[in-house]
Chains A and B, each alone.
Chain A
Amino acid sequence: MKPAAFDYVRATSLTHALDLLASADPDGETRVLAGGQSLVPLMAMRLAAPARLVDINRLAALERLEVIDGRLVIGALVRHHRLATDPRVASAAPLLARAATQVAHPAIRNRGTFGGSLAHADPAAAFPACALALGATLTLASAAGRREVPATAFFEGLYQTALRPDELLVEVAVPAATAASRSAFVIFTRRPGDFPVAGLAAVARAADDRSAVDRLADIRLAVFGVGDTPLLADTAAAILESGPIDAARIDAAVAALDTLEIRDSATASVRYRRHLVGVALRRATAALLRPEAVACR
């Protein structure tokens, strides 16, 4: 459980980091070291053997966390513990604040970074699904410039993203929650902090007519831990949006989840996972409808 030999460079500025990523190492792959809570175990198990690590942990510019122009901007180095405890996150993105209390274990959350979780794109990870549900925009920087990529175009496959080798994910913006915003986070794990058997991140908006307590608009459902990437359940969301949310409509939405491409694992069959995704949708829907009354878990 010792990593193979590699070279280590601590980036002293964002420009330095981008220059390092732009200059390919002739000996092999260059990887970015952020929290290291996924990459370092992979290196210890020799599933990853980069030739060079670029350590970005001292780049204070990537620790930004602020609400600007109706968006919560989260620097790539913001750690899970900060997402879980910062009052700006609690008010502007309660989905992220809640998810950050459920991801992994406290010592891992103290080091793991939001940007690292998205860039790593582990299919079991919760934050990619939250980014999808929230309609996040990711800012990718390279020595040549910056580009913005919506979360829907970022997650391409198992550990595959739109990031080019010379690019660094520098920050993520999500629309700040309003008084009408609703969100729910459901995760099934065998023990607290384990990789999920299945999970769901959900956001919605209360109906404009406040008396329509059984109506929701702009529903986005992102299922995670069951496929190669987080999966948007658009058909189920459209069914829930199409009228008053009663038992029959919820049943129809759950049935619509059958089209999701769910994979099995060593400990969970496709059938079991599909069942849990349905349970997650039922619990999330209840929480979206009555956010003050339902402790969603």
Chain B
Amino acid sequence: MPMIPNLIPITCTINGETVSLSVSPRETLADMLRDRLGLTATHLGCEHGACGACTIVYDGRTARACLLLAAQADGAVIETLEGASASGRIAALQRAFHERGALQCGFCTPGLLLAAAEVLAEHPAPSRDAIRAALSGHLCRCTGYQAIVDAIEATAAAATGAGSRR
């Protein structure tokens, strides 16, 4: 392998803004977002795709930022939790998580919010089992998950006007 790695020029859209950078081949997208752009809501837990804390939205679908190379961001449209929060698209989920104590240390929360937003976008009224399946790739070591499932279920119920909030 080369002693001085090739730097790769990339241009991508991150949270609605066009960003141009030169990246190293071994730089992950997660490291690029955190260290180069200061988007530190992308949390790095396991760095091998097991914990879900680094989940972002890549070309419209959730993905693990630790399993994407920064070089793969070229031409992509990327949204991090900062962008999803600023746009207001996950405001109801954020409020529900807050109200129900669906977080404690908050390390897993960015990934959970983006995963929850994706499942609600595709299944407006998911069962609790479907919510749990959608969250299966996200590890939370504080809450025991009950409050997280409650918060997502309540958000869905409020959005669809179905039933009373638990």
Q: Residue B96 at the A interface, CB < 8 A?
A: no
Chain B hits for A104, CB < 8 A? 137
Asked if A276 CB lies within 8 Å of chain B CBs, one says no
Q: B25–A53 contact, CB under 8 A?
A: yes
Contact A110 B61 (CB under 8 A): yes
* B residues 41-63 in Cβ contact with A at 8 Å: 46-50, 52, 55, 58, 61-63
**Pair A106/B137 contact, Cβ less than 8 Å:** yes
A5 to B25, CA, bound (A): 7
| Total chain B interface residues with beta-carbon distance under 8 A | 37
Cβ-neighbour of A192 out of B1, B71, B136 (below 8 A): B136
B5 touches A5 (CB 8 A): yes
Q: Are A106 and B64 in contact (CB under 8 A)?
A: no
Within 8 A of B (CB), among A100-153: 104-108, 110-111
Given contacts A104-B137, A105-B136, A107-B55, contact A28 B71 (CB under 8 A): no
Once the chains bind, are A36 and B1 in contact (CB under 8 Å)?
A: no
Question: How far apart are A47's CB and chain B's nearest CB, in angstroms?
Answer: 10
Contact of A41 among B58, B67, B115 (CB under 8 A): B67
Interface residues of A in 178-195 (CB under 8 A from B): 191-193
0 or 1 for each of B1-30: is its CB under 8 Å from A? (1 = yes): 110011010000000000000000110100
Q: Give min CB distance, A72 to chain B, whole Å.
A: 23
Contact bitstring A6-18, B, C-beta under 8 A = 1, else 0: 1110100000000
Which listed residue, B2, B48, B55, B72, touches A45 by the CB 8 Å rule?
Answer: B48
Write out the residue numbers on chain A whose beta carbons fall within 8 Å of the beta carbon of B138.
105
How many angstroms from the CA of A192 to the CA of B46 in the assembled complex? 19
In the complex with contacts A5-B25, A6-B25, A53-B25, A36-B68 CB distance below 8 A? yes
Give which listed residue, A5, A10, A108, contacts B71 with CB less than 8 A.
A10
Are B119 and A106 in touch, CB under 8 angstroms? yes
Contacts of A53 in B (CB 8 A): 25, 69
> For residue B63, which residues in chain A have a CB less than 8 angstroms away from its CB?
107, 110-111
Residues of B within 8 A of A10 (CB): 71, 74
Q: Provide the main secondary structure of the chain A interface.
A: loop
Assembly CA distance A223 to B135 (angstroms): 27
Cβ of B136 to closest chain A Cβ, rounded Å: 4
Q: Are A51 and B26 touching (Cβ within 8 A)?
A: no
Decide if B5 touches A108 in the complex (CB within 8 Å). no
Residues in A with CB closer than 8 Å to B46 are 1
Chain B positions within 8 Å of A108 at CB level:
49, 64, 137
Chain A residues with CB below 8 A from B71, complex form: 8, 10, 55
Pick from A4, A28, A111: contact of B64, CB under 8 Å: A111
Contact residues in B for A5 (Cβ distance below 8 Å): 1-2, 5, 25-26
A16, B119: Cα distance in complex, Å: 38
Closest B residue by C-beta to A45: B48
List A residues 25-44 near B (Cβ within 8 Å): 27-28, 33, 36-37, 40-41, 44
B121: shortest Cβ distance to chain A, in Å? 11
Q: Which residues of A contact B (CB under 8 A)?
A: 1-8, 10, 27-28, 33, 36-37, 40-41, 44-45, 51-53, 55, 57-58, 81, 104-108, 110-111, 191-193
17 further A-B pairs in the complex, CB-CB below 8 A; given A40-B28, A107-B64: A1-B66, A3-B26, A4-B26, A5-B25, A7-B1, A8-B6, A10-B74, A36-B67, A40-B66, A40-B67, A51-B1, A53-B69, A55-B69, A106-B119, A110-B58, A111-B68, A192-B136
**Can you report 5 A-B residue pairs in the complex whose CB atoms are below 8 A from each other?**
A6-B1, A6-B25, A8-B69, A44-B66, A106-B118
